[in-house]
Chains A and B, each alone.
Chain A
């Protein structure tokens, strides 16, 4: 579900033009990190929640938002908020589809996630061929939010976006 910030379609479109620098097919609205938007004339206050504490993408997202809005004559204040903490449940349906298309398996629910990460259950679908005959290669992938998987049918490796709750 996409949150309704009660903003104009122009502002919504500018927001959605800003992408996660590490997953460039996922915009910040679909990533679920925008918690609130307040527009007063040409001044915009955006409440942003970090995905992971040390995620280097956060500073970049803040700068990118300022730049994107500046191009339309807006000044932006980005406030980081910690509570409630971000969860992968906030990734929108559209965001999950974008992830899968990009080659990253979208997060499973909490129980299924534990089963694949800790109990070797085969529940993650290969993003190349759709097979569920997949195995965990490493809990830690190229970034903190991902784990590395391999498909035992097509033998291709792929990333899985871990559930965070």
Chain B
């Protein structure tokens, strides 16, 4: 796919553009990191072998994608920071992931619903990002979307299977939908940095994606014979660095090794 417009070669010579791009990329990449970490917790704990292996593979894909994004961020910053510093040495408030991805692995229904809600977004997002004015982002999107399609197929299949399954699976997956629905809207919120990148043609227009998203999710909800929850408000905050109580625990576990043995290498 061709970019909507090409980036002006002088674009990154402006410090302001650079800062916005870094912040924008953190918002994108931190979702992959935190969801990848969450799924990693399930390694060896899946309900049976197939989803256990699949979820671990999805986790690996996400962590692989985040590495590419962090490497790009490190390159733009041009200081001495590395992908590992960005992943492991920030404080909670500096992570810009949405609240959805930090929600706990309450049960298999939650894991699948959280994944499905994210995968639908991610596939739409990467599809649009293939038209980014930024060449590196186009390449990352082109690579990532193949994986995101597999993820969505996996979580979408389970979503339907659980929703249209037994009375118990239906009840539990509906509960997960009701609890997690309030976190979906934040996927489409934009920060000042995001808006600057949308204006520059680097980032996709999130309002348009939001429309496609709810169309797709509501269609699948109906196929899975599940109800669309009625909510009065949506949760937000993650993109501003204001996280739920779960985030601190994720970071404590994830950062333990780097903080105990700084600069340790495999």
Contact = CB atoms under 8 A, between A and B. Distances in A.
Contacts of A24: none
Interface string A39-68: 000000000001011111000000000000
A103 interface: no
A144 B60 contact: yes
Contact of B61 (A84, A137, A141, A144): A144
B153 interface: yes
A95 B4 CA distance: 39
Given A53-B64, A53-B143, A53-B147, A139 B54 contact: yes
Interface size class of B (residues with CB under 8 A): 20 to 34
Main secondary structure of the interface of B (DSSP, over half): helix
B74 interface: no
B140 interface: yes
A154 B62 CA distance: 37
Given A144-B60, A144-B150, 16 more contacts: A50-B143, A52-B60, A52-B61, A53-B143, A54-B61, A54-B63, A54-B64, A55-B64, A82-B68, A82-B140, A83-B138, A137-B50, A139-B150, A139-B154, A140-B53, A144-B147
A121 to B, nearest CB: 16
B60 A54 contact: yes
Main secondary structure of the interface of A (DSSP, over half): loop
A137 B67 CA distance: 31
Nearest to A140: B54
A164 B68 contact: no
Nearest to B57: A144
Interface residues of A, number: 21
Among all A-B residue pairs, the 10 with the closest Cβ atoms: A54-B64, A53-B64, A83-B139, A140-B54, A54-B60, A144-B57, A82-B139, A85-B143, A138-B50, A53-B65
A141 B135 CA distance: 33
Contacts of A139: 54, 150, 153-154
A139 B65 CA distance: 21
B88 interface: no
A148 B48 CA distance: 15
A137 B144 CA distance: 25
A52 B63 CA distance: 11
B93 interface: no
* A82, A84, A148, most chain B CB atoms within 10 A: A82
Interface in B37-86: 49-50, 53-54, 57, 59-65, 67-68
A9 interface: no
* A138, A148, A165, most chain B CB atoms within 10 A: A138
B216 interface: no
A111 interface: no
A142 interface: yes
A83 B61 contact: no
A159 to B, nearest CB: 12
